[in-house]
Structure 1
Amino acid sequence: MESEGPPESESSEFFSQQEEEDEEVQEPEETGPRNPLLQPALTGDVEGLQKIFEDPENPHHEQAMQLLLEEDIVGRNLLYAACMAGQSDVIRALAKYGVNLNEKTTRGYTLLHCAAAWGRLETLKALVELDVDIEALNFREERARDVAARYSQTECVEFLDWADARLTLKKYIAKVSLAVTDTEKGSGKLLKEDKNTILSACRAKNEWLETHTEASINELFEQRQQLEDTVTPIFAKMTTPRQVKSAKSITSHDQKRSQDDTSH
């Protein structure tokens, strides 16, 4: 079960009106008419939300997307309220309607930052599954992992460290594959055998990622190291200049050969 919000010792920064620099992760204030999507989003009423979005007879149907993306003064929409409430299923359901899950507030906070600050571990997992940008920075140059650490959300820190290790391996595999297949980056200098060795290793690592969804950080690092050990010597051959005989040595060789022929 997810926690109800930031730890008591940290709550002052979230709720104090004087802490303006982090207002994006504070509880939103209700102003103006109540958004009809708010209650189902906060209570996890996925079916209720889907009726609004998908039933043409619903009185709010035509305005559904506008209501979803309606922002408060600091640039937060309804998805931020769902993150604060830890409603992971709501996030998954709303993502199907094509919303941008990487949208930032006025100070650069993303949904991932928000979920991390509030200790919403399951919501973090849902967002990562939906392929959000875990490297996005807020106005303090903090990633979501840094925000989680600042608010002592230990489980969120550990999960985001794991997600980062997994992303690092995926990016390295993609980088190596591109280096081999992109002729502009010199893949033409590779022997066919070496090229096949690298591509085969990359495929194997991608398959490993797909079948080891619960792999530890150490295992992820080990897989990257194995791939690096395979490709580094091959790429080193690409950058090693071939030995080319100088014109002088060629001439000397030809003269010696000519003398040998004459003597015979």
Structure 2
Amino acid sequence: METIRVIYVSSKTTLPMNRCILRYTRTMQSIEEHSVFHYALTGDIEGLQKHLENECNSGNEEPLEDLFWEKDEMGRNALFTACMLGRSTTVRELLKHGAQVNECTARGYSPLHCAALWGQLETVKTLVELGADMQAKNFRRERAMEVASRYSKMDCAEYLTWAEAKQDLQSYVTHVRDTIADPEKVQGKLNKEDKNICTNTCSVKSDWIQNAKNPSIQDFIEQRRHLEDIINPILSKLTTQPEATAKASKN
């Protein structure tokens, strides 16, 4: 399996983006003319769509993931390339046909890391929408938001901070719902009123997440804090031993 040597110039350079993103150091024969990597590099979305459709209809028994075997020296395939170049439509097509949104290089960089450090805001949003893990860390223990900050891509860093705050609230709502629906965790320690309070409060927060107009990072933080203030006293009952059990353990 041949590795394609594509050199990516540092994103800190002051050269215009269309001159500094990449240059080839091997002959064009290194990249198959009609390959997924080729279409990602050239930005030929129609060619990519036709190529992927043909592969799907060819009856080839090999998994679609094999379409993404071509990689550069850093272990980045066509998806990473599309992310660095800010080609959101290409990213959607690649993920639709088997690319892995949370694939990482040997140094722990995900497609989201790459889009963020190159300042490709719309692609960052696309990846988050399609399930990219915002908590994934590279070999420096950096999340995508932290990489964006280090490279001064502040629009990406701010968006990812906002998206993390939203996800944090959503995750806590899910946690509460899953907890009160689990008989093994509840074990009769919550009464009907407790469960109704949890259910209704979570529904209110879910509706807010769906319908709030331009919520800020602070809005999500405050909603999370308000939810905790209501729910934590109830959930604390799940960690409290029944009185009879407590007495027995003392004896």
* Structure 1 length-normalised TM: 0.75
Q: Which amino acid aligns with 1:116?
A: A
Q: Which residue of 2 aligns with 1:112?
A: 112
* TM-aligned CA deviation for residue 148 of structure 1: 0.7
Q: Taking structure 1 as reference, are residues 43 and 188 closer, same or farther at Cα in structure 2, changes over 3 Å only?
A: farther
SS at match of 1:147: helix
Q: Which residue of 1 aligns with 2:168?
A: 168
Q: Percent identity?
A: 43
Q: Taking structure 1 as reference, are residues 238 and 207 closer, same or farther at Cα in structure 2, changes over 3 Å only?
A: same
SS at match of 1:55: helix
* TM-aligned CA deviation for residue 234 of structure 1: 1.8
Q: Which residue of 1 aligns with 2:6?
A: none
- Structure 2 alignment gaps of length 5 or more: 1-8
Q: How does 1:218-233 map to 2 (within 5 A)?
A: 218-233=218-233
Higher RCO (CA-CA < 8 Å; seq separation 6+): 1
Q: Which residue of 2 aligns with 1:152?
A: 152
- Counting matched residue pairs gives 228
d(CA) in 1 for partners of 2:185 and 2:129?
Answer: 32
* TM-aligned CA deviation for residue 203 of structure 1: 2.1
Among 6, 19, 38, the residue aligned to 2:11: 6
CA contact (8 A) 1:83 1:111 kept: yes
d(CA) in 1 for partners of 2:96 and 2:203?
Answer: 30
Q: Which residue of 1 aligns with 2:127?
A: 127
Q: How does 1:67-146 map to 2 (within 5 A)?
A: 67-146=67-146
* TM-aligned CA deviation for residue 58 of structure 1: 9.6
Residues 219-252 of structure 1 deviation map (CA, whole Å, 9 limit, x = unaligned): 11121122112112222344456667xx9xxxxx
* TM-aligned CA deviation for residue 9 of structure 1: 5.6
Q: Taking structure 1 as reference, are residues 239 and 81 closer, same or farther at Cα in structure 2, changes over 3 Å only?
A: closer
Q: Taking structure 1 as reference, are residues 49 and 213 closer, same or farther at Cα in structure 2, changes over 3 Å only?
A: farther
Q: Which residue of 1 aligns with 2:54?
A: 55
CA contact (8 A) 1:145 1:160 kept: yes
